[in-house]
Amino acid sequence: MSEIVAFDFETLPVRMAERQGEPWFVLADVCRVLGIANSRDAAARLDDDEKGVVTTDTLGGPQDMTLVNESGLYSLTFTSRKPVAKRFKKWVTADVLPTIRKTGGYGAATGGDLRVPVQAARVMRQLKLETNPALRRTHYAFLVRLCASWGVEAPPLEEIGRDAPPLPDVAAPFFAGLDRLTELGVRWNHARRPDRIAVNLKEVAAHFAAHGIPVVIDTPLRTALKACQDPPFLGRLTVNSGLTGRSVRCWVFGVGRIAL
């Protein structure tokens, strides 16, 4: 019996098995991804050395599955006219196979748990997408443990994606800009309470532009403000403005680094 393990490609499972130290792919899964309706016809078009059969345990008992090797998989992707074929080939060549080989993969350790390279691949995909430094280090610690269980070294964290700029650094120019507006005599704080800061971003963006303060109100800044701890972000609220006496939608903070 051969153990089957699965990777996920855009929510579709792609199962693999080891044969002579190399990964082979379940033909039915490859055809499903590529939109090939008849897997038997697809197998008939492949050379004998590009396909094979493996027996594996299922809930219904032993089952034969047709497999294709890398060469067979590439032959199928080249014949598919579906847009997904290019993405699938890139996923296999740039993600799955390098991950298997970097983390020990198939045939690296006799009797190893074949689930390890699958888990490692998933963690590496998470690391490539994640930018939060704390979460990246949590994922990487798990990857290190997985690789250690196979007796191999994990690739350096710096080679797998990147950290986002620290949030306080992103937010700091914004609050410095508010301090500068205060120095210039510009009234921008709608809060009535002395322990609150209420900022209408559209208004302060106009103030920044009018006074030559180089702060751009963009998505990274908004993300940083929502995560801000100094001053602490309290929410986006409608306040009774201390400047106009009308209701104004504001970003509200507690008192922190900013001078009032």
Report pLDDT digits (tens) over 77-131. 887 778 888 888 888 887 777 766 655 543 333 334 445 566 677 777 778 888 7
- Alpha-carbon distance of 149 to 143, in angstroms, equals 10
Domain limits, the chain? 1-102, 105-164, 167-254
Residue 19 has pLDDT above 90, yes or no: no
The pLDDT assigned to 152 comes to 73
Residue 159 has pLDDT above 50, yes or no: yes
Q: Which residues make beta-bridge pairs with 236?
A: 251
- Alpha-carbon distance of 198 to 102, in angstroms, equals 51
Predicted model pTM: 0.42
Sheet containing 233-240: which strands, arranged edge to edge? 196-199, 247-254, 233-240
Q: How far apart are the first and last CA of the chain?
A: 73
The DSSP result for 166-216, as a single string, is PHHHHHHHHHHHHHHHHHTT------SSTTEEEE-HHHHHHHHHHTT----
Q: What is the mean pLDDT of the chain?
A: 81
Q: Could you list the beta-strand ranges (E) of the chain.
A: 5-9, 12-19, 22-26, 51-58, 61-68, 196-199, 233-240, 247-254
Report pLDDT digits (tens) over 161-190. 887 666 567 889 999 999 999 999 999 999
For 28, other C-beta atoms within 10 Å of its C-beta total 16
- Alpha-carbon distance of 258 to 51, in angstroms, equals 67
CATH class name, domain 1-102: alpha beta
